[in-house]
Structure 1
Amino acid sequence: MPLRHFFLWIISLLVYAFLYIPLIIVVVFSFNDSKLNAEWAGFTFHWYKVLFNNHEMLLAARNSLIIAVSASILATILGTMAGLAIHRYQLKFLPFLAFTPVAMPEILLGVSLLLFFLQVLNLTLGMLSIIIAHTTFCIGFVTIIVRARLQGMDESIFEAARDLGATPWQTFRHITLPLIRSAIIAGALMSFTLSIDDFVITFFTKGVGEPILPIQIYTMIKVAVTPEVNAISTLLMLLTLTLIIIATRFDTSMLKGDSKQPR
């Protein structure tokens, strides 16, 4: 093996170790039979039992699921529409509007939405404000995925549909939607993943009221990082990784669909 490749392997392994060893430690210590994470005291499922008997944590998880599902549905609908509009009409200002929340720092977006809700809309902060905020920054991700799928499609398919007398709605329903379905699902899963574990924007738009999972975890670790925090972090990590794998599979099928598309 050339010396250059050897050093690249070493650097890659160090980077992956830096990323994943802390996650492995979190998972391992969620099974620690001790109230503190200072040392390993034995294997137990006790902290998962404590977690599932914690009413406030379960309520926070329920609220986060409601927010994530609502935001992902709205973002998927609006993001798909934006992706179609950008691809079809080539409007210069629309990509700027759709992609700016993706590139904008979360703390800046959170503060902007907070001021907008309080000073412009005079809206009481709560579940509704969080759903609107999460939908805002998730739209751009759906738009990017759908637009990428549309750019890889053969335009002659749509021209043939119009030549055969299909209306715009029939073309969308029978041709466009089946071809971009995998991209829409991938965008929805990505939106759900981003929404359910978002902290910064949720922190600024939450207000006072129902507990939200990322904020609840932050409140708990201010006192001490107990194995219960490790347990909820492990479950959240498992959910996130599962959704990422599913979204990746849909993205892979989308690429395979491009190769099978007639030219």
Structure 2
Amino acid sequence: MRRRRWPLLTLLAFGYAFLYVPILLLIIYSFNESRLVTVWTGFSTKWYGELLRNRQLLDAAWLSVRIAAVNATLAVVLGTLAANALVRHRNFRGRTGFELLLTAPLVMPDVIIGLSLLLLFVAMQQTIGWPGGRGFTTITIAHVTFSMAYVAVVVRARLSQMDRSLEEAAMDLGARPLRVYLTITLPLIAPALFSGWLLAFTLSLDDLVIASFVAGPGSTTLPMVIYSSVRMGVSPQINALATIIVAVVTLAVVIAGILMRRGREVR
């Protein structure tokens, strides 16, 4: 048995190394003193100071974080409503078409989504005068369009596995449907909601193609700034920014894991 495990463990180690060694090197070279990101000349934190003085990068990062937070919140609300409709109301008219429309963004190329939304926003602006320009609002709407599909998949899976007898028992004791949903259903699907929120936040923060179509002057997101700067050569400031993002994401995942474990212990 041990001889059979070694090839699997070796493949697993190579797989994780392929994924995480580049990230580790990026973090190490963010403390490189040289301007060349591939030549190590000594330890220094000066690029973090340069990053704090780079208004373009900071403004783009702040815009991306705001868009991602609003997008994730709206996607969780709309995705949860869609998942409830598909799980709790299985025979409503138009279910097949609704499910097709909901899952289409999962398989639709980003270029098609971005171009179609651009044409939609231009037509709306010419017809009703809204949106007044392409920026925060249009990027958020575009991100919600595809993010809610991912949230709906996650929440739908959790709702399908949930024990409905708890809700029935609460209603037998006199609780109204809304109170049952708020006090029984939501706490039970809270891990799925949180996972969907993090997934939508990450997808929005990472998007480049769709945002490039629906963004306008003065609304450049962080991936757009990084892509434009990388084409002229990777700056050590990008390494510093990526290191900060990795640290924040790692901290958030650790905190979420601790809270979920404590929640399971309480239950």
Q: Is 1:12 matched with 2:25?
A: no
In 2, the alpha carbon distance for the partners of 1:38 and 1:166 equals: 64
When the two chains are superposed, the root-mean-square deviation of aligned CA atoms in Å is: 2.4
Question: Cα deviation per residue 1:170-220 (whole Å; 9 max; x = unaligned)?
Answer: 221222122222221221122112211221221222122233111111121
Gaps of 5+ in 1: none
Look up the SS of the partner of 2:141 in the other structure.
helix
Query: Hey, what does 2:191 align to over in structure 1?
Result: 182
Look up the SS of the partner of 2:170 in the other structure.
helix
Query: Hey, what does 2:233 align to over in structure 1?
Result: 224
Query: Hey, what does 1:240 align to over in structure 2?
Result: 249
In 2, the alpha carbon distance for the partners of 1:25 and 1:88 equals: 48
Matches for 1:105-116 after TM superposition, within 5 Å: 105-116=109-120
More off after superposition, 69-78 vs 13-22: 13-22
Question: Structure 1 pair 188/156, CA: closer, same or farther in 2 (3 Å)?
Answer: same
Maintained 8 Å contact 1:190/1:247:
no
Question: Cα deviation per residue 1:60-85 (whole Å; 9 max; x = unaligned)?
Answer: 11111110111111111111111111
TM-score, scaled to structure 1: 0.87
In 2, the alpha carbon distance for the partners of 1:84 and 1:253 equals: 27
Identical amino acids, percent of aligned pairs: 39
TM-score, scaled to structure 2: 0.86
Query: Hey, what does 1:58 align to over in structure 2?
Result: 58
Maintained 8 Å contact 1:78/1:139:
yes
Matches for 1:95-244 after TM superposition, within 5 Å: 95-120=99-124, 122=126, 123=131, 124-244=133-253
Give the counterpart of 1:92 among 96, 116, 134: 96
Question: Structure 1 pair 188/75, CA: closer, same or farther in 2 (3 Å)?
Answer: same
Aligned residues: 257
Gaps of 5+ in 2: none
In 2, the alpha carbon distance for the partners of 1:242 and 1:190 equals: 16
In 2, the alpha carbon distance for the partners of 1:142 and 1:252 equals: 22
Q: Is 1:73 matched with 2:77?
A: no
Look up the SS of the partner of 2:42 in the other structure.
coil
Displacement after TM superposition at 1:135 (Å): 0.9
In 1, the alpha carbon distance for the partners of 2:106 and 2:175 equals: 36
Maintained 8 Å contact 1:183/1:250:
no
More off after superposition, 31-40 vs 145-154: 145-154
